Amino acid sequence: MAACSIEDVLAKVEKDEAEILKNITVHKELELEFDIGNLAAFDKNPADVGLFRKHKKEEFLRSLARDNTQLLINEMWKLPTERVQEAVVAKLPEPHTRLPREKPLPKPRPPTKWEEFAKLKGIPKKKKTNLVWDDVHKEWRRRWGYKRAKDDTKDWLIEVPESADPNEDQFARRLKAKNERVAKNELNRLKNIARGQKVSVQVPPKDQSKAELGKAMQLARISTASVGKFQDKLPKEKPTRTVGKKRSFQPLIGDFNMEKQRQLDLLKVMENKKPRMNVTRAVNRQMREEDAEAARHKKEGRRGGKGGKKKGRGGGGKGRGGPKSRGGPKSKKHHGK
Amino acid sequence: MTQLDGIVKPKTKRSKRFLQSREPKLVENIKNAMLIKGGNTSQVVTQALKDIHSLKKPNAVLYKKKNITRPFEDQTSLEFFSKKSDCSLFVFGSHNKKRPNNLVFGRMFDFHVLDMFELGIENYLSLEDFKNAKFPEGTKPMLIFAGDLFDTDNEHRRLKSLLVDFFRGPTVPCVRLSGLEHVLHFTALDGKIFLRSYRVLLKKSGCRTPRIELEEIGPSFDFSLRRVHLASDDLYKKAHKQPKQLKPKKKKNISHDAFGTKYGRLHMQKQDLSKLQTRKMKGLRKRRGEVTEEEHGSPKKAKSD
């Protein structure tokens, strides 16, 4: 009898527990993935589309949402909790969904000239106290700024030193010295920034060949206002080969007959009523006209097929480029004919 | 010039703090969102933008004027807005005959567009249509994504990442358990994406974990995914680069074997094994004036004889 009752008791306890857990358990085929740090849950179970269409949309979605939320809340309640000012608070783990940053990684500030020197020499940074004892006012004052410890702008009397001009305004001299110091500091600060930026932006130049470097040097030499006429030459620089139009002149006293013939021809040309025909010019013009006609025929044919501004522009461009490129081989053909 | 590059020094502490909050950091601020209207907007789109703004308050700016731009063609004006207002998330709403009730969700990296998703609103119920009490602004919502499309399709995966980025609130170390009231549920089904927003009612259940009942509260959208502009893979990887300082420091000298047993290594000085202290065996202890080792040896010899 006792044994039966014990079994009954155990069975009842189990049933009760199951009942309690029934409220919060949800059956899913695939476990959900949780990202508790972001309070997010990802359900990969394929949803039953048939069921979705049969029932009303909202109810299906609501029941699905309820199930998923229950699972997420179950996970949340498993977290370690603590009491913070009469509220129960759960400690969240780090979010592990990889999300992109909004700005790139911060670059460390490039070191200043002094910082580099200090690193080289091994000079450590000295920590300064915030306040300095001011004997004049007999109190602790800040090191710099408003109401600082040793403020020499407030002096109502400056002794003229032995070496100075008695008519000089010492106050103005002090002010000018301060302005110079400020300007120098500002200049150094800007120089540090410029140096820092140059280092971070500059790309190491590709290895250039000797010829390329020579050409670059030549161009640099003639890139002055007087086209390189007054540029000094480097000690080992070779004299440049002349670049430019070559002009050759006939010797002063040469072939007399040829000179006579040339001058007579010149007079004949000047006397002529009608202009002399430039054969090459005429041939070029003729070729250009023929090419333009051919291009126009081609364009019309293509326009009938496809049509559109782009094609027309392309055709026109092709036509324009044509004679220059196709002048050579075509001319030979013409001669052949 | 917006950075603290030093050439233009901020004159006041306040402006210095403002610039410092905007510069790139190791641990970043929470992302701001800007809600922009396009050249032509319908009532649905303006109401939708207002609702999203209230979901994302206070980390959102809602611009009232219309801007005649097309995000998918020209991104420069969006990038300009983002730079000026320091927002890396945006929603651009527009309406035309070809794409009615269009919302373009997007995010930026380094003030250049990273991803853009064009979602068309098929069905929409705004906050006003649900006549019940709402949450205070700034409550961190719970996000649930259902549907296997969010895992299988590449575009949907990126969309999921963008939606998490958009709707998650600030990253907090701990959260009040009774304050978990808002849940946003995204379902990818039947070619559409359904967004529903519920209030969570925690009911008594037998055990410590409460039973959940949901009450629909916020806006409800039925989206259809239209165009998509994804960032190239290398830009995406660059945007995900985390600084080394944030990586958890690996403890050296600890190893695990196949069964999960944790092993560690101890480094000790050289030991003199003869002077090693082992367990005390009282019987073996040498006593004064008693039998020594040699004497032990000799009686044995005698026995053998």
The one-digit pLDDT tens for each residue of chain B (305 residues) are 456 667 788 889 999 999 999 988 888 889 999 999 998 999 999 999 999 999 888 889 999 999 999 999 888 999 999 999 999 999 999 999 999 999 999 999 999 999 999 999 988 998 888 888 888 888 899 999 998 888 888 899 999 999 999 998 888 888 888 888 899 999 988 888 999 999 998 888 777 888 888 888 889 999 999 999 998 888 899 898 888 877 777 778 788 888 888 888 888 888 887 777 778 777 777 766 655 444 444 444 444 44
In this predicted model, which residue has the larger pLDDT, A327 or B116? B116
Q: Looking at this protein, which amino acid is placed at residue B102?
A: N
CA distance A36 to B33: 23
Instruction: Tell which residue, A162, A140, A161, A157, has the closest CA to residue A149.
Output: A140
- Interatomic CA distance for residues A17 and B152, integer angstroms: 38
Q: What is the SS3 assignment for B264?
A: strand
Spatial separation of the C-alpha atoms in residues B160 and B147, rounded to whole Å:
11
Beta bridge partners of B115: B107
Distance CA A152, CA A182 (A): 16
pLDDT grade, residue A327 (50/70/90)?
Answer: very low
More confident residue, A16 or B31: B31
Q: What is the distance between the alpha carbons of residues B117 and B105, in angstroms, rounded to a whole number?
A: 5
Flag if B214 and A69 touch (Cβ within 8 Å): yes
Query: A311 pLDDT exceeds 60?
Result: no
In this structure, chain A runs to a length of 337
Least CB–CB distance from B151: residue in A44, A52, A90 = A44
Report the C-alpha gap between B68 and B39 in whole angstroms.
Answer: 4
CB proximity list for B214: less than 8 A, separation 6 or greater: A62, A65, A66, A69, B183, B198, B199, B200, B201
A47 vs B contacts (CB less than 8 Å): 146-148, 187, 189
Task: Please give, rounded to a whole number of angstroms, the shortest distance from the CA of A15 to a CA of chain B.
Answer: 13
Residue B12, classified by CB atoms within 10 Å of its CB into exposed (0-12), middle (13-18) or buried (19+), is exposed
What are the helix (H) ranges across A24-169?
49-54, 57-77, 113-121
Is B198 in Cβ contact with A62 (below 8 Å)? yes
Residue type, B125: L
Q: What average pLDDT score do residues A154-178 get?
A: 90
pLDDT in tens, A79-113: 888 888 888 888 888 888 888 998 998 888 889 99
| Contact between B6 and A193 (Cβ < 8 Å) | yes
Place of tokens 């020197």: A117
Inspect the interface and report whether the beta carbons of A65 and B243 lie closer than 8 Å: no
Indicate which of B83, B130, B175, B230 best probes the interface with A, i.e. most A CBs within 10 Å of its own CB: B175
Cβ of B165 within 8 Å of Cβ of A189? The answer is: no
- Rounded to 5 degrees, φ, ψ at B296 are -60, -45
**CB within 8 Å: A70 and B211:** yes
A215-243: b (≥16 Cβ within 10 Å) or e:
eeeeeebeeeeeeeeeeeeeeeeeeeeee
Chain A CA closest to residue B212: A70
Q: Which residues of B173-207 are buried (b: 16+ CB within 10 A; e: fewer)?
A: eebebeebbbbbbbbbbeebbbbbbbbbeeeebee
Q: How many CB atoms lie within 10 A of CB A83?
A: 8
Enter the DSSP assignment of A202. Answer: P
Q: Would you call A40 helix, strand, or coil by DSSP?
A: strand
Cα–Cα distance list, A30 to A35, A99, B232 (Å): 16, 24, 32
CATH architecture of B28-231: 3-Layer(aba) Sandwich (3.40)
Inter-chain touch A69–B26, beta carbons under 8 Å: no
Give the residues across from B124 on adjacent strands.
Answer: B221
User: Does the beta-carbon distance from B183 to A69 stay under 8 Å?
Assistant: yes
Specify which residues B255 forms β-bridges with.
B263
Peptide bond into A251 cis (omega under 30): no
d(CA B29, CA A105): 13
Give the closest-approach CA distance of A94 to chain B in angstroms.
8
**Residue whose C-alpha is closest to residue B77's, from B123, B52, B111, B110:** B111
Q: B239: nearest CA in chain A?
A: A100
Distance to chain B for A306, nearest Cα, Å: 26
* pTM of the predicted protein model: 0.65
Residue A329 pLDDT grade (very low, low, confident, very high; cuts 50, 70, 90): very low
Question: How far is B101 from chain A, CA to nearest CA, in Å?
Answer: 21
Q: Judge whether B192 and B122 are in contact, CB under 8 Å.
A: yes
How many C-beta atoms surround the C-beta of residue A95 within 10 A? 16
Task: List CB contacts (< 8 A) between B205 and chain A.
Answer: 20, 23-24
Closest CA to B266 of B252, B276, B287, B256: B252
More confident: A319 or A142: A142
- Cross-chain residue pair A89–B141, CB shorter than 8 Å: no
Quick: pLDDT tens for A37-60: 889 999 888 877 777 777 778 888
Do the beta carbons of residue B182 and residue B141 sit within 8 Å? yes
Residue B75, both tokens: 């991104």
Beta strands B112-125; B142-146: pairing state: unpaired
Q: What tens digit of pLDDT does each residue of A206-262 get? A: 667 788 888 888 888 888 888 888 888 877 777 767 667 778 888 888 889 999 999
Please report, for residues A18, B91, B100, B294, B303, the alpha-carbon distance to residue B71 in angstroms, rounded to integers and kept in the order given. Answer: 55, 10, 15, 100, 108
CA angle A108, A110, A129 (to 5 degrees): 85
Using the structure block, give the residue that is written with the tokens 């559109």.
A308
Does A81 sit within 8 Å of B185, measured CB to CB? no
Instruction: Name which of A39, A68, A182, A200 to mutate to probe chain B: the one with the most chain B Cβ atoms within 10 A of its Cβ.
Output: A39
